[in-house]
A and B are shown apart, each in its own frame.
Chain A
Amino acid sequence: MKTPSRLLATLFLATATTTATLSAHAADLLDGVKSRGTLRVALEGTYPPFNFKDKGELAGFEVDLAKLIATKLGVKAEFTTTEWSGILAGLSAGKYDVIINQVGVTDQRKQAFDFSEPYTISAPQLILRKNETREFRNLEALKGLKLGVGQGTNFEQKAKATPGVEVRSYPGAPEYLQDLAAKRIDAALNDSLMVNYLVKTSPLPIKPGAPVGDVEKSAIPVVKGNPQLLAALNKALADSFKDGSFKTVSVKWFGVDVSKAPSER
């Protein structure tokens, strides 16, 4: 009986030590950014029109925004594409400096990361089949019905928090849109800005549904303990709001200034 509990204790200790080591870091990330001359930015690269690959090159609203912020910091932007399911973990592990990928500001995430000022304010919106006759005014109206969401997104968490809704988690938008058209799910949930783009570009018979839930803010997460980098990012954002460079980028992709709430646009 001695050997198994000893093994367990060693395994426990090994896990704890590794986790502790991973969260330890010395200097502020801003120093690294300045000395390298690059701001390491992570994004998915599979999320048009926010960030995607156009003929192999990264393009999109957030790619332009990242380049704008990097210029204001006096450095260049260096991009890493990674799957959503691992992106926040990579930030914690110090693989990159920031994520600029429509990261919604939630209380849970605020416990692990510091967020910059929000640069996108939008609301979640339903996506329905084109011939859908039922009206869904809010998430509760989907009680007993199937709702498709992306795995690991805050839309998934929102959907799961609504009682009675059967949540189906998909690897990405193409998959749940396919199933929506095939009548396997009754509705899908994503961001308003995304929904408009999806309906416009997808060949499937879908239409936008009602905006549901509260307006949400997306900002740039940074690992805790880097106040200088956070301050520098906020200054860069504030400057871009003031001198109109942010508005130019936003209007280019969405036709509106997304840093303002939908009601103020």
Chain B
Amino acid sequence: MELLDLWELFRDAAPILLKGCGYTLMFALGAMVGGTVLGFPLAIARVLPNKALRGAAAAYVSMMRGTPLLVQVFVIYYGLPSIGIEFSPFTAGLLALSLNAAAYLSETLRGALNGVSRDQWAAGYSLGLTYAQALRFVVLPQALRTALPGMSNTLISLIKDTSLVSVITVTELMLATKELIAATFRPLPLYLAAAALYWLMSLAFERLQAWQEKRLNRAHAR
């Protein structure tokens, strides 16, 4: 019976797929944290009055968004050893994903910062706040609310971008699926199972996003 066949396939594949999920989550979560930690200062660097800083940040964002993530992963893992910098697959993957995510996140945040009315800055200064204080206490909290959906977009995409670490020998979900397919010759059910697992992981983060949005929208509730 076809269905029984499928059930056996999934039952045998489950431990390997779940192990792959573990690696995917590890990279996704790590890169989310890394990307956010790097993205915030990057976004602020792009709006600061300092021209040199703005230029450097803009160049970084342009390069990381404009080049394929696959190439970035490759260069960090296979290319850097030739100049003496060696990373383990885990570190290299995390670094590449974080650096890349930071570029996209900084743009979302920059847009949100620009979206906060000039009056808010003026109001902050009129209260005697410095630039840094106005940014931190008045503007940033308001910007976060607008930035959240865009940032969640990048972060949820990151879950699927982790599949690229397969080229540096990490057996995350996508590679685990391909290995199972190579052994069992059932590509369609296995790819669909992998897709379902990616979706489940994304759903979890969507819930997180909804919760955060609710929190940030408290002041605007009707």
Chain A residues engaging chain B, CB cutoff 8 angstroms: 12-13, 15-16, 18-20, 22, 85-86, 88-89, 92, 108-109, 111-112, 151-153, 156-157, 168-171, 175, 178-179, 182, 184
Contacts and interface: CB of A to CB of B under 8 A. Distances in A.
Contacts of A112: 185
A152 B186 CA distance: 14
Interface stretch (B43-51, B116-124, B164-172): B164-172
A151 B178 contact: yes
B175 A151 contact: yes
Nearest 4 CB-CB pairings of A with B? A152-B182, A89-B187, A112-B185, A168-B169
B81 A182 contact: yes
B3 interface: yes
Contacts of B86: 182, 184
Contacts of B184: 108
A108 B183 contact: yes
B219 interface: no
A178 B169 CA distance: 13
Contact of B188 (A19, A109, A156, A182): A19
Q: Is the interface of A mostly helix, strand, loop or mixed?
A: helix
Contacts, number: 66
B179 A19 contact: no
B192 interface: yes
A175 B167 contact: yes
5 contacts: A18-B188, A151-B166, A169-B179, A175-B78, A175-B167
Interface of B: 2-3, 6, 78, 81, 86, 166-167, 169, 171, 175, 178-179, 181-189, 192
Contacts of A22: 188
A84 to B, nearest CB: 9
Contacts of B175: 151, 169
Contacts of B192: 15
A15 B187 contact: no
A89 B78 contact: no
Contacts of A169: 166, 169, 171, 175, 179
A112 B185 CA distance: 7
A50 B169 CA distance: 25
A167 to B, nearest CB: 9
A20 B186 CA distance: 11
Given A15-B188, A85-B181, A170-B167, 14 more contacts: A15-B189, A16-B3, A19-B2, A19-B6, A88-B182, A92-B185, A151-B166, A151-B182, A153-B182, A157-B183, A169-B169, A169-B171, A170-B169, A182-B86
A16 B6 contact: yes
A87 to B, nearest CB: 10
Contacts of B167: 170-171, 175
B68 to A, nearest CB: 14
A179 B168 CA distance: 10
Contacts of B188: 15, 18-19, 22
Contacts of A12: 3, 6
Contacts of B6: 12, 15-16, 19
Contacts of A86: 187
Contacts of B166: 151, 169, 171
Nearest to B88: A184
B175 to A, nearest CB: 7
The winner among B182, B184, B192 for most chain A CB atoms within 10 A is: B182
A222 B166 CA distance: 29
A175 B70 CA distance: 14
B185 A85 contact: no
Contacts of A182: 81, 86
B2 A16 contact: yes
Contacts of B179: 151-152, 156, 169
Given A169-B179, A171-B167, A179-B78, A20 B185 contact: no
